Amino acid sequence: MRPTYLEVNLPQLKQNLEAIRAKVAPAKVMAVLKANAYGHGVDGVAPYIAPYTDYIGVAIVEEGIHLREMGIEKPILVMGGTLSEQIPAFIQHDLTLAASSMQLLEAAEQAARAAQVKLKVHLKIDTGMERLGVHEYEAEPFISRSLSCSHLNIEGIFTHFANSDSADLTHARLQLERFQAVLHIYEELGAPHPPLRHTANSGAILQLPESYFDMVRPGVMFYGVYPGRGVRKTVEVKPALTWHSRVVYSKITKPGRPVSYGSLWQSEVPARIVTIPCGYADGYFRRMTDHAQVIVNGKKYPQVGRVCMDQFMVNLGGDEAGVGDEVILLGAGITAEDFADWTGTNEYEVMTNIGARVPRVFIG
């Protein structure tokens, strides 16, 4: 019954996914549901969206196991780094492994052989992110070996862009060229390439149609937020989050009585100061202090004084508001971009930091 809660508009997420699908068809779509569905609450998002997505992407094996335990049956790719001792969990839960090294490929083959199963694998190629994957210039032996792994179903091959959301696509195009060269290795070997070739994150979906191949991997834009300020908005998507709260305390503060820890801010005239039950432990960053704006009863006001762990204050000036009145922290004209600007971070970090303590209320 917490008055501070996150409203998640599930039909809007579906609409975003459909807009992406219309743009990339006939390519398939992998909805990226890592990091608690970018903060939206995977327990509500996953069951709702599963029928509409071809594949699901997560970062770590635990996220994949969680989805399986919820009863999600769609294929799930664990895109992040994996240790060989985690491979049995992939087998047990029918998760797809991103094989990012020869050693991991060998370990996967061995584990699958021992379990007498066929494990689904996507080969991860590093074309210029320098995070995970076999470099394109060392891909030939990796691909050759993958073709002889009898207990692996090499279903996909992929890479990840470092700068596909920027105005200058030089590096993204270079990465794409390197990926194309890797795919040529299959021709040289006289073998078919894996059926799922994929590279495109949100930036590439918006700006690089030649990167779609067989599947795309939208994260941030599935949630209705664009991956960068200068990015070309070639697909219309809308945010699905509204972060609500209510006034828990309302009073007049006199001049000479500074507000909150550190006594950093005070009003020069008597002012109506209201207290909102949400703080940095909820992902309302302390760095928001004296930068954020909040909607109280439909009107925007400045946050004042240091944001505390569980509460912060808002200056209504000469306006009135009482205990229980409606407050909107995010949504209704306040965007994740605003939060990012107020805190010097990006929209991804804003959304994924909305705390576990904030209940998610799913609409639809």
Residues forming contacts to ligand PLP in the complex (CB under 6 A) are 32, 57, 79, 160, 201-202, 217-221, 227
- Amino acid present at 158: F
Tell me the angle at which helices 102-115 and 139-147 cross, rounded to the nearest 10 degrees. 10
Interatomic CA distance for residues 266 and 253, integer angstroms:
9
Q: Which is nearer to ligand PLP, 29 or 288 (CB)?
A: 29
Interatomic CA distance for residues 41 and 8, integer angstroms:
8
Q: Which is nearer to ligand PLP, 205 or 276 (CB)?
A: 205
* End-to-end Cα distance, the chain: 19
Q: Which is nearer to ligand PLP, 20 or 259 (CB)?
A: 20
CB of residue 195 vs ligand PLP: minimum separation in angstroms?
Answer: 18
> By beta-carbon distance, which residue lies closest to ligand PLP?
219
CB of residue 269 vs ligand PLP: minimum separation in angstroms?
Answer: 45
CB of residue 32 vs ligand PLP: minimum separation in angstroms?
Answer: 5
Peptide bond into 26 cis (omega under 30): yes
Residue whose C-alpha is closest to residue 217's, from 237, 234, 197, 232: 197
CB of residue 112 vs ligand PLP: minimum separation in angstroms?
Answer: 23
User: What b/e sequence results for 200-223 when a residue is b if at least 16 CB atoms lie within 10 Å of its CB, and e otherwise?
Assistant: bbbbbbbbbeebbbbbbbbbbbbb
Q: Which is nearer to ligand PLP, 32 or 112 (CB)?
A: 32
Residue whose C-alpha is closest to residue 205's, from 21, 18, 11, 4: 21
Interatomic CA distance for residues 231 and 237, integer angstroms:
13
Interatomic CA distance for residues 86 and 254, integer angstroms:
60
Q: Which is nearer to ligand PLP, 243 or 348 (CB)?
A: 348
Q: Which is nearer to ligand PLP, 124 or 272 (CB)?
A: 124
Catalytic positions, written as ranges: 34, 261
Which region, left, alpha or beta, applies to residue 292 given φ > 0 means left and ψ of -120 to 50 means alpha? Answer: beta
CB of residue 157 vs ligand PLP: minimum separation in angstroms?
Answer: 13
Q: What is the DSSP string of 258-295?
A: -BTGGG-B--SS-EEEEEES--GGGT--GGGTTT-EEE
Q: Residue 79, SS3? A: coil
CB of residue 205 vs ligand PLP: minimum separation in angstroms?
Answer: 7
Pair of tokens at residue 104: 């991991």
